[in-house]
Amino acid sequence: MKRCLMILFVMMMTSELFSQQKLVYHSYLLGSESGDTILTEVYRNARQLKIVAVDDFEGVLINGVSTDYTFVDYDRDSAYIQVNYPGDESYFTAYSLHNDKVIFELKGTDEVNGCKCAKYQTVINSNTIEVWMTDKYGFDAMPAVGRGVLDGVMVRQMINGNRVTDLRYVNKDKKLKNTVIIPEKLGVRMTPRELDNVRKEKLVVRIPVFDDVQINFADIENFEGEIPFDTVIHFAYGTLVLKRLHIPELPEHYQFFADIHQRSNGDAYDRTASVFVIPEDRELSLTNALIDSIQVLPNLIDRREETYYGMRLEDNYMPVVELVRFFTPFGVKHYNDYVSMDGMTWQDEAHYKQEITELCDRLRGDVLIGAFIGNYDGGGHKLSMDILAYPQDYSGDVSGNKAWSLPLFNTCNVMEMAGQNYGKLFLTDSLTVTFELPADVRNVRLRYISTGHGGWDNGDEFNPKENTIIIDDDVKFTYTPWRCDCATYREYNPVSGNFWNGVSSSDLSRSGWCPGTAAQPVYFDLKDLEPGKHTITIAIPQGEDEGGSFSHWMVSGILLGEKITDD
């Protein structure tokens, strides 16, 4: 009788021991000293698992981070990924534990961490995955089941021979006694793709700027007073739109992108366009010119006695900070039905997405963002724009932010229709700016955008010209902006002119731009520049005028650097 009771007691204890466990897995990179390790906990009760990555993060967390669980039900051959957000907002997706697309091959046996294991191997997307499984514990458990499951408990996984996940220990977990691993309600069910989109969208900071705003030539009323928040206002006969908005300060590990969509609303031509920030660091800014007139801004006069307003840094003025310069294609969308060509399907819009992370210090707090498309058409263009910020880390701490910038010049005449001159001073003059580099700034570089214009055979649009950058009377850099891939964008240019030889005008190579593309900034290293006053000069051999035609250059430059902290 005593022997029977003892056997029954042992059976009960064994059943309890193997009905609830906590398994802890440790993931790391072989040979790495970065400390990049991950802990994953697997809670087991009977034939169900709850899998969760251990978050040991300390400090301020960015917005949009979810708490995720993977639930496994072996009896139902099912796994569930649950994504949770504050406010009881939950989503999930479900899939089978058996993946017919992934075949694990048995490669023999090994002893790993004191366990006799069966070794399996598979290859997925050129990645070799090795898995060691043991039947020592008498149940099934794996920390990752997306590729399918194997019998037993996973002791080790190795990907490409260097990324390792090891079973650290198995403990009885009293918390799991008489509990249900998988909750009855998991949230809103989604497909895997839908769930992935939700998770990404929650992490991305999306800042709407312009929504299908019309930029056209029109007789508009003059605006007076303070620029309000979140209101689009037209200036310069409708060809420039402006919006004041508040952008939260983000840690500088975020990557910023300008996401721009443009289509013709009647204008058939390729036009210069620019989106920019108006800095208000000094007494005067472009805002003063928009509300009053261009003549209130500082000016320079070339040898031909032509006047250029608001194009360079002065003691009381900062030029606009160009985020993206782009060029509209010939009539995309509005003229798609006007011209048909064999083998050509016209696009519905032009899309420009460009990284602007280096300008992040100009994208926080109270910000004035403008957009300009030079045109004289009553229908003009339609423009939408968002700023997108993608996190590269989970830390929400902004105390380490150290980005610094100083706008130097911008000859892109965004107030063209309100009297701002084209940048044609390079025919007789160079552009010189005096600036002061603070003592607490290091790793300085110049962000430079240059495009040449003058749309006839001898114009600078179609003839490469060397740009020379002179610092303190010393030639530091030379650069020739040129694009020879313009034919790639033919499908965005339905009413581009076609020549007798089959070439389209939009195909032709140009000085740093193509119809339907964004101009690419270039960067020049100035890290050896000492603190104090300096001059920078831009010299370009601009071509001669011909009749009523003239060439001109749109150049913008901003110094970028890092503030030196006490740390």
Tell me the pLDDT of the chain averaged across its residues: 93
pLDDT at 17: 42
Tell me the average pLDDT across 360-371.
98
Neighbouring residues of 532: CB distance < 8 A, sequence distance ≥ 6: 436, 437
Quote the CA–CA distance of 279 and 296 in Å, as a whole number.
16
**pLDDT beyond 80 at 432:** yes
Task: Assign 345 a pLDDT band (cuts: 50, 70, 90).
Answer: very high
**pLDDT beyond 60 at 273:** yes
- Percent of the chain at pLDDT above 70? 94
Quote the CA–CA distance of 270 and 460 in Å, as a whole number.
16
Q: What is the CA radius of gyration of the chain?
A: 31
pLDDT at 57: 80
As assigned by CATH, the class of the 204-563 domain is mainly beta
Reported as a single tens digit per residue, the pLDDT across 298-339 is: 999 999 999 999 999 999 999 999 999 999 999 999 999 999
Reported as a single tens digit per residue, the pLDDT across 483-516 is: 999 999 999 999 998 887 889 999 999 999 999 9
**pLDDT beyond 90 at 37:** no
Tell me the average pLDDT across 190-207.
97
pLDDT at 178: 59
Residue 395, classified by CB atoms within 10 Å of its CB into exposed (0-12), middle (13-18) or buried (19+), is middle
pTM of this structure: 0.90
Reported as a single tens digit per residue, the pLDDT across 515-565 is: 999 999 999 999 999 999 999 999 999 999 999 999 999 999 999 999 997
Residue 73's nearest CA partner among 228, 196, 186 is 186
Task: Assign 566 a pLDDT band (cuts: 50, 70, 90).
Answer: low
pLDDT at 174: 66
Quote the CA–CA distance of 143 and 51 in Å, as a whole number.
6
**pLDDT beyond 60 at 8:** no
Query: What single DSSP character describes residue 203?
Result: H
CB 389 within 8 A of CB 398: no
**pLDDT beyond 80 at 445:** yes
- List, as one string, the DSSP characters of 269-306: S--EEEEEE---SSSB-HHHHHHS-GGGS-EEE-TT--
Q: Distance of CA 62 to CAs 205, 360, 474, Å?
A: 10, 17, 45
Residue type, 395: S
**pLDDT beyond 90 at 444:** yes
pLDDT at 172: 77
Q: Is domain 22-199 classified as CATH 2.50.20?
A: yes
Q: Where in the chain is the domain with CATH 2.50.20?
A: 22-199
pLDDT at 385: 98
pLDDT at 63: 94
Neighbouring residues of 9: CB distance < 8 A, sequence distance ≥ 6: none
Would you state the structure tokens that stand for residue 67, as one six-digit string? 């708490």
**pLDDT beyond 70 at 36:** no
Q: Which strands sit side by side in the sheet containing 532-539, from one edge to the other?
A: 431-437, 532-539, 467-471, 474-479
CB 440 within 8 A of CB 563: yes
**pLDDT beyond 70 at 56:** yes
CB 69 within 8 A of CB 55: no
Backbone angles phi, psi at 397, to 5 degrees: -75, 125
Residue 118's nearest CA partner among 127, 102, 130, 129 is 130
Would you state the structure tokens that stand for residue 460, as one six-digit string? 């600078």
- List, as one string, the DSSP characters of 403-430: EEEEEEEE---TTGGGTPPPS-GGGT--
Tell me the average pLDDT across 10-37.
68
Q: Where in the chain is the domain with CATH 2.60.120.1570?
A: 204-563
Return the bridge partners of 170, or none. Answer: 23
Neighbouring residues of 173: CB distance < 8 A, sequence distance ≥ 6: 20, 21, 22, 43
pLDDT at 497: 87
Quote the CA–CA distance of 448 and 244 in Å, as a whole number.
25
Quote the CA–CA distance of 448 and 520 in Å, as a whole number.
9
Q: Distance of CA 121 to CAs 106, 133, 135, 227, 390, Å?
A: 7, 11, 18, 64, 35
Neighbouring residues of 385: CB distance < 8 A, sequence distance ≥ 6: 209, 210, 258, 259, 260, 261, 275, 371
**pLDDT beyond 60 at 7:** no
pLDDT at 10: 33
